[in-house]
Amino acid sequence: MKIKVLLNPYSNRWNARARWPEADAALKAAGVDFDLSVSERADHLVDLAADAVKQGFTTIVVAGGDGSIGEVVNGLARSWDGKKKFPATLGIIPLGSANDFAFAIGLPLNLNEAAKIIAAGKTKPVDLGKCNERFFLNNSGLCLEPYVTTKHERIHWIKGIARYLVAAVWAIMDKPEWRGDLKWDGGEFSGLLSLASIGNGRRTGGFFMTPHADPFDGKLTLAFGYRATRLGLFSALPRAFKEGEGSYIEMDGMREVHCTRLTIHLDKPSPAHTDGELFDNWLTDLNYEILPGAVPVLSG
């Protein structure tokens, strides 16, 4: 049966548009029969995904990055009540700058290999996160992490992972902080926060913000903490590239816990994101839950 491919040409600063001929050739070489729709504006992928379900497509492939995947998942979920099976199987052609979700579930970044996985049709059930009324597959965050994203969106002269690194340095120099109340199944915390990252996958923007997250374990992973000085934050930055021994979560003031539900209340609004896409408004209250194995994803 023909599948629907949704292309976000803007992914990786228009690099996805430049690489589409390569992706198109890879899909055709793998024998994938597909119909293409191209995003033309912000959040257009949400509408395109919802329309694809209405048109009867049962497999939707995202050609883009993590933000594109997040938009498509939210579009697919428009017709989903959370009780029946998810409306469509999800496939991925990784054309983003970081491709963190593809990394999390072990998908190849080589487009020919990615196309072969789509052609094979084998799926794995992946957990789905929810923050307030938005869904995410890889990661959500508040405080410093999305504050970095607000800087990242203003940088146009650097591409790839380097852009995330420059944005992180810029954000740390501002040293934003909040006081928060966090409650999860089995624990709670009240105090100062520099960051709070909620992961289904281990990595976001190239940083291992929740290095022990597992998108197949039925749990969210919460990493949070406070560093009192800019030097303390800068010393944590290189350790956020480590997912094993020496990770930033081993530093004083940092914690990592696993949970199925989480509520966060902040003393003042913070930017927040799901899969790298910022909420329209800064928030003080966020409610999280995990929906185990909700989304069938084409995987090797």
| 208 and 272 both lie in a single domain | yes
Report if residue 179 sits inside a domain.
yes
Residues 6+ apart with CB under 8 A from 179: 190, 191, 192, 193, 266, 267
Q: How many H-runs (helices) and E-runs (strands) does the chain carry?
A: 8, 16
- 3-state SS class at 24: helix
Q: Which residues of the chain have pLDDT under 70?
A: 160
pTM of the model: 0.93
Report if residue 161 sits inside a domain.
yes
| 242 and 172 both lie in a single domain | yes
Q: How far apart are CA 156 and CA 26, in angstroms?
A: 29
Report if residue 133 sits inside a domain.
no
Domain end call among 95, 121, 147: 121
* CATH number of the domain residue 247 falls in: 2.60.200.40
Specify the amino acid at residue 158. I
pLDDT at 113: 98
Domain end call among 91, 121, 151: 121
| 100 and 209 both lie in a single domain | no
| 73 and 152 both lie in a single domain | no
| 29 and 149 both lie in a single domain | no
- Cβ atoms of 122 and 298 within 8 Å: the answer is yes
Per-residue CA distances from 61 to 7, 44, 161, 241 (Å): 8, 15, 24, 29
β-sheet with 220-225: strand ranges across: 254-259, 220-225, 195-199, 139-143, 272-274, 277-278
Domain of residue 111 covers 3-121
pLDDT at 158: 78
| 53 and 108 both lie in a single domain | yes
Pairing of strands 3-7, 34-38: parallel
* CATH number of the domain residue 81 falls in: 3.40.50.10330
Report if residue 299 sits inside a domain.
no
Nearest Cα to 197, choosing from 133, 279, 254?
254
Report if residue 217 sits inside a domain.
yes
Per-residue CA distances from 69 to 45, 111, 169, 176, 234 (Å): 9, 16, 27, 29, 30
Q: How far apart are CA 158 and CA 90, in angstroms?
A: 30
The number of distinct structural domains making up the chain is 2
| 244 and 172 both lie in a single domain | yes
Residue 80's CB is within 10 A of a number of other CB atoms, namely: 19
Domain end call among 69, 91, 121: 121
pLDDT at 92: 98
Q: How far apart are CA 155 and CA 102, in angstroms?
A: 24
Q: How far apart are CA 275 and CA 128, in angstroms?
A: 11
pLDDT at 42: 86
Measured at the CA of 33, the angle between CA 27 and CA 38, to 5 degrees, comes to 70
pLDDT at 262: 98
Nearest Cα to 65, choosing from 95, 92, 42, 40?
95
pLDDT at 282: 97
